[in-house]
Amino acid sequence: MHPILLVARRDYLAYVGAWGFWISLITAPLLIALVIFAPVLLARAEPPRVIAILAERAEDAALVRGAFLGRAREDARTEIEAYLSATAPAVRDEALAAFDAAEDRARGIEAARQIVQQRAPRALQAFPIPSPRYLIVDPPAQDIEALRPYLMRVQALPNGQELYGVVRIRREAEAPVIEYWSVNLSHEEPSQITRLAMRLAMRREALAAQGLDPLEADRLEEFNPRVVHFDPRPSATGAGEVTLRQRAPFYAALALSFILWSVVFSTANMLLTGVIEEKSNKILDTILTSVTPLEILIGKLLGVAAVSATLFLFWGLIGGSLLSAAVAQSGETFVGQIAAAFLEPRLLAAFGIGFLAGYLMYGAIFLALGSLCESIQEAQTLLGPVALVLALPMMLIAPALDNPNAPLIEMASWFPLFTPFLLLVRAPAGLDWIEIAGMGGLMLVALAIVLMLATRVFHAGVVDQVSVAGLRARLSKKD
């Protein structure tokens, strides 16, 4: 076996033989699932927030109470709609019609549930039982000073609940003024719901003052134009109307870009810690008579690449199976279309190329840095600037989703260290072949330069025991 392959094999077996590898192999998908579902589960687990309404006029209090109930009904409808879109799109409209026809929220949920039970019983198992986010109660006192102990959680309500906030509506020269009292300073939703309700009240009052029917304000509120997005490019499918099918690749690209970034960073980190460990254990001098520094560098890159390939194979099999199942089960639903976007060959090819280039570039850089350090602590001082460079494409990924062809994103994607990540994000927006070839070529040139420089630094680090301080002098002169 060639020494490069022996080095690669040893490194591969060392990583795969460690407990940490198997733990991360298994826990990573669980953690991703947790990140996706935790906010939903937490939101569901949270008890309703108790709000009291204190108003000078009884009709204002009733209007705001109605607005909160309306919001709760709307939230329940949205949740049922999302669930049925993903699981039983065929019965969605019928179930929502039954929900809308019901008198109140609870009856609406039950009516929708009945439809699902009759028409799509398989979807009943995880049918949502949404709980309202807010619970409106009568205020335990009639002025803010008396309510202060409740708001500060010093005193509980008579039923034992804690008061989350108080909406106080007073009138100044007939115009309503909304005060929202709560210790949760960053949460503004209750005041927004109240504002919209009181805006409707003000419109009703204005219409009545003009001698018109105040309920016209409610009718005007319902006007909501239909918005259709179109893609003007000749390559656009159908009549060019943009639907979820067209948008899904952007979301998939964003997710894949985050995954690519995390994998590149963590595998490059593996290389860094590996070489530091070998340096501190004084192993390198022993193998240098058998393997050249370049061969060690290539062997290590190959070994960790094989570790990544194992991870991808495992995760790919699980993820691919789940996504394929999602496409087969619910092809036209939100889930089905997002899943199909992940399986898009062009996107997967961009991911593969991005990983290869990103891993080789950052891996070589991290290996070179590791060769100059005797400890992780020492490496951390060097990693600061590199981590900053790695963090920059992450900062650009979110804006790239908003406008993948923004000048800043376009320029940044030509910078070879960012290309692997931004090329992936820009891919669904459609790239010219010239652009792809140009960025690819530049990336290859950069890769060659990085590998060449990394080899020199690695050589200096492992053979001549050059430290960080001596690096600059070393690079400035010919060996």
Partner 1 sequence: MEAALEAEGLAKRYGARQAVSDLSFKAPKGSIYGVLGPNGAGKSSTLRMLVGVLKPSAGHISMLGGSVTRSVLKRVGYLPEERGLYRNMSARAAIAYLARLKGMPASKAYKRADALLEAHGLGKVRRKKIKTFSKGMAQKVQVLAAIAHEPDLIIFDEPFSGLDPVNQRTLEDTIRAEAAAGRTVIFSTHIMEHAERLCDRILLIAGGKRAFEGTVNEALALAPSVAILETDGSFDLAATLAPKGFRIAYEREEHGAKRWRAELEGRDGSRRLLAACVEAGAPLSLFEPARASLHEAFVALVGAQAAGEQR
* Range list of β-strands (E), 37-142: 49-55, 134-137
- Give the shortest CB-291-to-partner 1 separation in angstroms: 6
Nearer to partner 1, 9 or 119 (CB): 9
Residue 172 gets which letter from DSSP? E
Q: Are 84 and 116 spatial neighbours (Cβ–Cβ below 8 Å)?
A: yes
175-181 and 165-172 beta bridge pairing: antiparallel
What gap in Å lies between CA 391 and CA 68, rounded to an integer?
A: 42
CB-CB neighbours of 427 under 10 Å: 24
Nearer to partner 1, 295 or 344 (CB): 295
- Give the shortest CB-308-to-partner 1 separation in angstroms: 20
Q: Which stretch binds partner 1 (CB under 8 A): 45-53, 181-189, 238-246, 287-295?
A: 287-295
* Helix, strand or coil, per DSSP, at residue 348: helix
Q: Does 290 interact with partner 1 (rule: CB under 8 A)?
A: yes
What gap in Å lies between CA 456 and CA 467, rounded to an integer?
A: 13
Q: Does 144 interact with partner 1 (rule: CB under 8 A)?
A: no
Q: Which two tokens mark 36? A: 């996706």
Q: Which of residues 6-25 bind partner 1 (CB under 8 A)?
A: 6, 10, 14, 17-18
String marking each residue 382-411 x if it binds partner 1 according to CB under 8 A: ------------------------------
What is the dihedral sign for C-alpha 349, 355, 361, 363?
A: negative
Alpha helices (H) in 281-375, listed in sequence order: 284-287, 293-329, 334-342, 345-371
Q: Does 375 interact with partner 1 (rule: CB under 8 A)?
A: no
Nearer to partner 1, 14 or 207 (CB): 14
Q: Does 1 interact with partner 1 (rule: CB under 8 A)?
A: yes
Q: Which two tokens mark 248? A: 């899904």
Q: Does 463 interact with partner 1 (rule: CB under 8 A)?
A: yes
Q: Which stretch binds partner 1 (CB under 8 A): 64-72, 274-282, 314-322, 410-418?
A: 274-282
Q: Does 479 interact with partner 1 (rule: CB under 8 A)?
A: yes
Nearer to partner 1, 3 or 128 (CB): 3
Orientation angle between helical segments 345-371 and 376-402, nearest 10 degrees: 150
Q: Which stretch binds partner 1 (CB under 8 A): 105-113, 288-296, 381-389, 421-429?
A: 288-296
What gap in Å lies between CA 467 and CA 222, rounded to an integer?
A: 71
Among 30, 377, 473, 478, binds partner 1 (CB under 8 A): 473
Backbone angles phi, psi at 241, to 5 degrees: -70, 135
Orientation angle between helical segments 293-329 and 334-342, nearest 10 degrees: 150
Nearer to partner 1, 10 or 245 (CB): 10
- Give the shortest CB-351-to-partner 1 separation in angstroms: 32
Q: Which stretch binds partner 1 (CB under 8 A): 230-238, 281-289, 359-367, 442-450?
A: 281-289
Q: Does 306 interact with partner 1 (rule: CB under 8 A)?
A: no
Among 33, 206, 228, 283, binds partner 1 (CB under 8 A): 283
Task: Name 137's bridge partners.
Answer: 52
Among 286, 321, 329, 375, binds partner 1 (CB under 8 A): 286
Q: Does 273 interact with partner 1 (rule: CB under 8 A)?
A: no
* Helix, strand or coil, per DSSP, at residue 169: strand
Number of residues engaging partner 1 in binding (CB under 8 A): 22
Radius of gyration of the chain from its Cα atoms, rounded to whole angstroms: 30
Nearer to partner 1, 299 or 416 (CB): 299
Q: Does 233 interact with partner 1 (rule: CB under 8 A)?
A: no
Cα torsion through 401, 403, 384, 441, rounded to 10: 100
CA–chain centroid gap for 408, Å, is 22
Among 276, 291, 372, 412, binds partner 1 (CB under 8 A): 291
Nearer to partner 1, 347 or 471 (CB): 471
- Binding positions for partner 1, rule: CB under 8 A: 1, 3, 6, 10, 14, 17-18, 278, 281-283, 285-291, 463-464, 473, 479
